[in-house]
Amino acid sequence: MHIDLTGHTALVTGSTSGIGRAIATALARAGAGVVVNGRDGKRTEEAAAAIREETGNPGVRGVAADVATQEGADAIVAAEPEVDILVNNTGVFGPMPVFEVPDAEWRRYFEVNVLSGVRMARAYVPRMVDKGWGRVIFISSDSAMLPPTEMVHYGITKTAQLAVSRGMAQSVAGTGVTINSVLAGPTLTEGVRQFIGELYGEDVPFEEAERRFMAEDRPTSLLRRLIRPEEIANLVVYVSSDHASATTGAALRSDGGLIPTLIP
């Protein structure tokens, strides 16, 4: 299967590192013009430059703005008014006992993980509908189906993304615009590497910490290792293409078989 996204513009929020950067790189390799986004201007430009060099795609550029605020979302739309593929990847996570999470932290997680995507979709989806083609993908998580005990405040935001994406897909039925979620399983990003390191201590080699984490904390995984960001990106590129034109309103699993159900 050959995927050619030449002529399309893709915006990937939170794409200076981790899964977001892998997605931006994969979309650029497929020929799309790619807008890299992060909060820090210098880091955003450096990421865009690195992806341009790696992929040989001159259409990669950066826009620094905080999509967790309406002002940041407005700044991105002003800089890039036409986007065909929107990947809502921005997110935060971190462990905290559920009964110790203050109201402010619940609100922050909802603003960053849920409302950031709502803002961007609200801006771009009507334009996609007018053109008769568009792709919106929310990067959710296995935590949407299996709320982690140590991160309940994170898990509920991932569940909310599934409801938002499904509801939005229903609202644009028959328009040529598809809206889906991708449920990423435990993935080897810088943040997860740090999280696992803190969980087991610096004295434990990372390979051993990874094995123990998957065996003890994510025992239902059939992959039995952390997913690599590129593996998530591969699914996103497919869902962004014409090959996935009949896939909409779906929660697509790239979780290594971790969620022990037939259907999400």
Q: What are phi and psi of 82, to 5 degrees?
A: -120, 110
Q: Where are the beta strands (DSSP E) in the chain?
A: 9-12, 33-38, 60-64, 85-88, 134-141, 177-184, 251-254
Take residue 53 and report the two structure tokens written for it: 């060099």
154 is annotated as an active-site residue = yes
Take residue 71 and report the two structure tokens written for it: 């002002």
The β-bridge relationship of strands 9-12 and 60-64 is unpaired
Take residue 62 and report the two structure tokens written for it: 């950066």
H-state helical runs in 81-189: 103-110, 116-131, 152-171
> In whole angstroms, what is the distance from residue 61 CA to residue 154 CA?
30
> In whole angstroms, what is the distance from residue 28 CA to residue 39 CA?
21
Residue 51 contacts residue 34 (beta carbons within 8 Å): yes
Give 184's strand partners.
141, 254
Catalytic residue among 109, 124, 154, 238: 154
> In whole angstroms, what is the distance from residue 31 CA to residue 27 CA?
7
> In whole angstroms, what is the distance from residue 106 CA to residue 178 CA?
29
Q: Provide the annotated active-site residues.
A: 154
